[in-house]
Amino acid sequence: MNGHDFISTSHIGVQWMGGSGCSGATWSPGEQICIDFSDGTYHPGDSIQLDIIDKTTNVTISRHVYRYE
């Protein structure tokens, strides 16, 4: 996920995104990403789901569901 390409598009829900994992087109082992969802879009009781998908196999390799409290 390229953070610069993502943040420069029209979207809702993400205040800020950064880290080595969002500096190019793909992630390398050990890279991390930080996504700040505090722009006011999400409210207590809402859920945010983040899926990491392998581009070569199109298989979801990681899924995290964050419940906004």
Give the list of residues 6+ apart from residue 3 with CB closer than 8 angstroms, or none: 17, 18, 19, 22, 23, 33
The model carries a pTM of 0.56
From the number of C-beta atoms within 10 Å of its C-beta (0-12, 13-18, 19+), residue 32 rates as: exposed
Q: Is residue 13's pLDDT more than 70?
A: no
Q: What is the DSSP letter of 28?
A: P
Q: How far apart are CA 49 and CA 47, in angstroms?
A: 7
Quote the pLDDT of residue 57: 92
In the chain, where the domains are located: 3-67
Instruction: Note the pLDDT tens digit of each residue in 15-59.
Output: 667 777 777 777 777 888 777 777 777 888 988 888 888 888 999
